[in-house]
């Protein structure tokens, strides 16, 4: 089968589209004929070696974190899926495998595709959709009537986050350029801040919760517009000790490393009387099924910026890395 594999960390030259043997499913695995895969910033960051401190799979390694396709076969212990089922998944972080014509995924990470989505659209849902759901509902515990600030609303996670926050009953303020304003308003954003001309820190009011999808200066400004005692969850800045405890099974070495690298951010949070949490989302078939239900009920739209043939995956990743994407990018197999 064809697969896009990582041979060495660095630029695109360290990875290649090549032929490798088909994967063999284990007892709990679902073997999927991949029809499409979604692309995310984590893909090029992993390729560059920026996640080497926390993820060190054996190379060559099949890249890719989310996919859709049809079930070919299932392991002996699989109960929920059978041959022919249309499914999608955010694959295990240490296993990868989405950028390939076939993939084995643990049954617990798989869900059936919404009936109203094609394979290409479904493939871009899992990672960004689960990130938004877990950040807003599970970590920030958004309640109806709360004022929520979401940075970068026109991006992959942002387009899901705006809609999920509205579904939870929040009043949503987000940032976007003039080019992205119409998109975020169409998704339900109540207020839009043009980050190219306006200073978030000078909004003159305070928020009940914040989701940071940018990091850097944007996160620093967000600390200044949060009510005392509230919380910001980030997926773009630096991990802190709770990240190791909650997202990496209490890894003490990582906790010490994250404590050190997050000193400045945690100090800023303390001065602002705001709690700071960095989230590494976790794959979940059950939560993915919840997103599928929202999509089928037309409460959640999936925004696809561009799709590419699998043969042009290098070009597709370059577009994702450019930072110009509105919504998500996918590749089609075959």
Q: Are 27 and 102 members of one domain?
A: yes
Q: Is the peptide bond before 118 cis (omega within 30 degrees of 0)?
A: no
Q: Are 262 and 318 members of one domain?
A: no
Looking up residue 113, the CATH number of its domain turns out to be 3.90.180.10
Closest CA to 62 of 103, 11, 29: 103
Q: Are 177 and 194 members of one domain?
A: yes
Q: Which residues of the chain register pLDDT less than 70?
A: none
Query: Is residue 287 one of the residues assigned to a domain?
Result: no
Q: Are 80 and 165 members of one domain?
A: no
pLDDT score at 216: 95
Query: Is residue 236 one of the residues assigned to a domain?
Result: yes
Q: Are 322 and 212 members of one domain?
A: no
Alpha-carbon distance values, 300 to 186, 188, 287, 292 (Å): 12, 11, 14, 9
Q: Are 178 and 265 members of one domain?
A: yes
pLDDT digits (tens, 9 = 90+) for 272-301: 999 999 999 999 999 999 999 999 999 999
Query: What is the residue range of 142's domain?
Result: 128-278
pLDDT score at 309: 98
Q: Are 65 and 182 members of one domain?
A: no
Q: Are 117 and 141 members of one domain?
A: no
Tokens found for residue 145? 């009537």
Query: Is residue 283 one of the residues assigned to a domain?
Result: no
Q: Are 162 and 250 members of one domain?
A: yes
Q: Are 196 and 267 members of one domain?
A: yes
For the chain, the domain total comes to 2
Residue partners of 151: CB distance under 8 A and separation at least 6: 158, 174, 175, 195, 200, 210, 211, 212, 213, 214, 218, 219, 222
Work out the percent of the chain whose per-residue pLDDT is above 70.
100
């Amino acid at each position: 089968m064809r697969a896009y594999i990582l041979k060495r960390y660095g630029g695109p030259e360290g990875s290649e589209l090549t032929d490798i043997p088909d994967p063999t499913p284990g007892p709990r695995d679902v073997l999927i004929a991949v029809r499409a895969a979604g692309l995310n910033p984590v893909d090029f960051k992993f390729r560059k070696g920026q996640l080497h401190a926390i993820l060190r799979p054996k190379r060559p390694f099949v890249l890719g974190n989310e996919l859709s396709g049809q079930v070919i076969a299932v392991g002996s212990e699989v109960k929920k899926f059978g041959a022919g089922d249309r499914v999608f998944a955010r694959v295990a972080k240490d296993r990868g495998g989405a950028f390939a014509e076939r993939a084995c995924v643990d049954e617990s990470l798989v869900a059936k595709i919404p009936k109203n989505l094609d394979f290409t659209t479904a493939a871009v849902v899992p990672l960004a959709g689960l990130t938004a759901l877990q950040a807003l509902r599970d970590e920030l515990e958004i309640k109806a009537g709360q004022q929520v600030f979401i940075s970068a609303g026109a991006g992959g996670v942002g387009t899901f986050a705006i809609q999920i926050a509205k579904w939870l009953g929040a009043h949503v303020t987000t940032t976007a350029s003039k080019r992205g304003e119409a998109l975020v308003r169409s998704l339900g954003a109540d207020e839009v801040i043009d980050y190219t001309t306006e200073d978030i820190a000078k909004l003159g009011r305070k928020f009940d919760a914040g989701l940071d999808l940018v990091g850097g200066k944007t996160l620093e400004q967000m600390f200044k517009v949060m009510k005392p005692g509230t919380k910001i969850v980030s997926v773009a800045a630096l991990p802190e000790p709770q990240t190791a405890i909650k997202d990496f099974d209490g890894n003490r070495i990582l906790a010490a490393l994250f404590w050190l690298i997050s000193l400045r951010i945690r100090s800023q949070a303390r001065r602002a009387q705001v709690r700071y949490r960095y989230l590494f989302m976790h794959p979940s078939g059950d939560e993915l099924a919840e997103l599928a239900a929202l999509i089928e009920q037309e409460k959640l739209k999936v925004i696809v910026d561009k799709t590419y043939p699998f043969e042009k995956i290098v070009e597709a990743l370059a577009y994702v890395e450019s930072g110009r994407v509105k919504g998500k990018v996918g590749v089609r197999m075959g």
